[in-house]
A = this chain, B = another copy of it.
């Protein structure tokens, strides 16, 4: 005689800026959910919480096992992501009532939300529906952010792969400039993401293993940009090593606290600045030192670069997705699986748990002792922390020279509320 298990459906969505491995988390959630008898259908929200509000749901059961497995090696958000934050219940009760309407209509008892700090706040608010509006739901947050700025977890899925891309790229560009410097380009500047915290810029530092290796200089958002000090260091590098490779975070600010990229400076071509700090720094190098320069802005290439993803990152992204489902099955609510570092060398990690209330809207900054005293490189401590996160390669399959990323069928679920909702 089988015990009757109460079966409820689940909701999963992707939120905020996407990463090279957020779909690996989706893969972890879906594969784990498919094994659970207590979970009926797993519906994905199209474009994050927007999909829930507009009842724009995707029936993931229509996807083959092979397609779901392929999510593990596919970058970006297979169900569409969104930059959309729920306001407080008091301010927008209609949104919460709508969520409950949709969840009730589709018998959703499990809510998995895959995002960063802002998204954790949304997930927390949904988790509170159980109490505030007497709607039984378990909300589990699945961590994701290239910015690596979520608290409690040792690192954030998505970060390791950007870190690897940045370290590999600056190493390669460094080799390039080193060979050209005698008669041509002497200074190379690569702009990377990280508006508030310098985690990604710091990762570039991993490429420098020996004295003289690129990058020679890292400009962090945490350190006020000092034009004179920077130029002096560039000059020193060019004189000593023949060239200078620089990683600059998009979030670098001047002494007035203004982003260099927004500081009203004109770029190398005399055009008003259009959002790149690299050309601003390049122009400075030209005007103050008269060195020939090149610059790159990696932008989305860095966070979409599944072709050079970190194996550790892929494994962790998958693991937090899987763990989220397991947490739900254990009856948890308002929690987030975390990565707990067990050892640095050899690197070992396990899954832990954090209360969402302690995660939402918190930013973990790069510790000052991860940055050298001169403010222009990373310390041994930073290296010890960062190095394991880029370990291992996890290549996607290729066909005719191109990576084979999956595009899901994304079959819509029929509306049951019969109502539309404007977000």
Contacts and interface: CB of A to CB of B under 8 A. Distances in A.
A209 B402 CA distance: 10
B268 A276 contact: yes
Interface stretch (A120-128, A220-228, A300-308): A300-308
Nearest to A303: B176
Contacts of A402: 167-168, 171, 206-207, 209, 390
Nearest to A160: B401
A3 to B, nearest CB: 40
Contact of A269 (B18, B262, B298, B398): B262
A278 B300 CA distance: 13
A211 B257 CA distance: 46
Contact of A175 (B172, B180, B294, B405): B405
Contacts of A153: none
Interface stretch (A34-42, A182-190, A367-375): A182-190
A184 B282 contact: no
A297 B293 CA distance: 14
A179 B279 contact: no
Interface string A147-182: 000000000000000001001110111011111101
Nearest to A76: B175
Contact of A80 (B182, B282, B296): B182
B296 A175 contact: no
Contacts of A301: 169, 172-173, 190, 296, 298, 301
A268 B183 CA distance: 8
Interface of A: 14, 17-18, 20, 46-48, 50, 74-84, 164, 167-169, 171-173, 175-180, 182-185, 188, 190, 206-207, 209, 261-264, 267-269, 271, 273-276, 278-280, 282-283, 292, 294-301, 303-308, 310, 387, 390-393, 395, 398, 400-403, 405
A73 to B, nearest CB: 12
Contacts of A80: 178-179, 182
A278 B50 CA distance: 31
A275 B285 CA distance: 14
A78 B176 CA distance: 9
Contact of A184 (B268, B274, B308, B398): B268
Instruction: Indicate how many identical chains form the complex.
Output: 2
Contacts of A78: 179
A83 B182 CA distance: 9
Contacts of A169: 301, 304-305
Given A268-B276, A274-B279, A274-B280, 20 more contacts: A14-B179, A46-B182, A75-B176, A79-B179, A80-B179, A81-B180, A172-B405, A173-B299, A173-B304, A176-B300, A206-B402, A267-B276, A267-B292, A271-B280, A276-B279, A296-B298, A296-B301, A298-B298, A301-B301, A390-B400
A267 B279 contact: yes
A294 B283 contact: no
A287 B366 CA distance: 36
A77 B173 contact: no
A177 B263 contact: no
29 contacts: A14-B179, A17-B180, A18-B180, A47-B183, A77-B180, A80-B179, A80-B182, A81-B179, A82-B182, A164-B401, A167-B401, A169-B305, A171-B403, A172-B306, A173-B301, A175-B405, A176-B303, A176-B304, A184-B267, A261-B269, A267-B276, A267-B279, A267-B292, A274-B279, A294-B300, A298-B298, A298-B301, A391-B400, A395-B395
